[in-house]
Amino acid sequence: MLYGFDIGGTKIELAVFNNKLEKQYSERVPTPQESYEDWLSAIVNLVQKADAKFGCKGSVGLGLPGFVNRETGIAEITNIRIADNKPILKDLSERLGREVRAENDANCFALSEAWDEENQQYPFVLGLILGTGFGGGLVFNGKIHSGNIGMAGELGHIQLNYHALKLLGWDKAPIYECGCGNKACLDTYLSGRGFEMLYRDLQGEALSAKEIIDNFYAGDKSAVEFVELFVELAAISIGNIITVLDPHLIVLGGGLSNFDYLYEALPKALPRHLMRSANVPTIKKAKYGDSGGVRGAAALFLEK
């Protein structure tokens, strides 16, 4: 059996899959907040419970809101302080008596989508998450590309370019500080959080993303104006990513991926931000939704 974990700041989810990546079982527990040992024990206990249930020692893959540095073996998970800067794979492997693998949660999301039967025709799948933050995952021929130390795909920390700042207005462009320590990272603009902050600062009203989208579909002038600007901002930023990476397929996940207008508007807005010979890749909504992270983490032991 294949065990996939979605390790979050508030909850840890285990899902168990067979070799066809069909889910057999899942369980969630709160993420321990007080000690590293408690955090390790929460994962170990879930694994041992699954082992007993299925009568085997399943493989263990972790999807993390960060990454494990391949050179040092040290985790960089800034929003789970008790596990940050710790040798989590070494410690878990020793306690569980088996190899443990880990990848960034956006990479796991992209891997899950790339392994979908319908998507296996695409050699290079780029996963983009427009959720609490904005992030990316790169999958080439069924295998995650995580780079030299494991950092590849951190697209949320590309910063706004000239055209994006010009679009937002030189004199009124809101410049947001990012949790990484820099300013004007895409994470704070193309995320659901950024969608709401931009609306507040550009349109002068604090609304939820759902309220903005509902108003857009109702024909509200302020919401329509804002959504068209947001689509252009996304096209500028994603256009740069396409120019560098040239993927065959882009899969969108996260809360904003449920805004269906994006799949109509983005392909129309992208060409003017690409090189003239470039094609707009196929853009799809994620098929596995909230299960994508655990499914991709389980698939770390199926990579081609």
Decide: 58 and 51 in contact? Cβ < 8 Å.
yes
Residues found in the chain: 304
Report, as an integer, the average pLDDT of 27-38: 95
pLDDT of 116 above 80? yes
Question: DSSP class of residue 226?
Answer: H
What's the Cα-to-Cα distance from 170 to each of 12, 150, 166, 174, 204, rounded to whole Å?
Answer: 42, 35, 6, 9, 17
What percent of the chain has pLDDT above 70? 99
Q: Specify burial of residue 107 (Cβ count, 10 A radius: 0-12, 13-18, 19+).
A: buried
Confidence of residue 114 (pLDDT cuts 50, 70, 90): very high
C-alpha distances (whole Å) from 176 to each of 10, 36, 79, 182, 202 are 25, 32, 19, 9, 13
63 DSSP assignment: E
Amino acid at 245: L
Summarised one tens digit per residue, pLDDT across range 191-243 is: 999 999 999 999 999 999 999 999 999 999 999 999 999 999 999 999 999 99
DSSP class of 52 = H
**Contact in structure between 79 and 69 (CB atoms under 8 Å):** no
Selection from 89, 109, 107, 2 nearest residue 47 by Cα: 2
CA distance linking residue 138 with residue 147, whole number of Å: 10
Residue 64 near residue 104 (C-beta atoms within 8 A): yes
pLDDT band at residue 303 under the 50/70/90 scheme:
low
What pLDDT is attached to residue 72? 94
Asked if residue 195 lies in contact with residue 178, where contact means CB atoms within 8 angstroms, the answer is no
Chain segment 119-133, per-residue pLDDT in tens: 999 999 999 999 888
Give per-residue pLDDT as tens, 158-205. Answer: 999 999 999 999 888 999 998 888 999 999 999 999 999 999 999 999
Query: Helix, strand, or coil here: 37?
Result: helix
Neighbours of 171 (CB within 10 A): 5
By CB atoms closer than 10 A (0-12, 13-18, 19+), residue 36 is middle
Mean pLDDT (the chain, rounded): 94
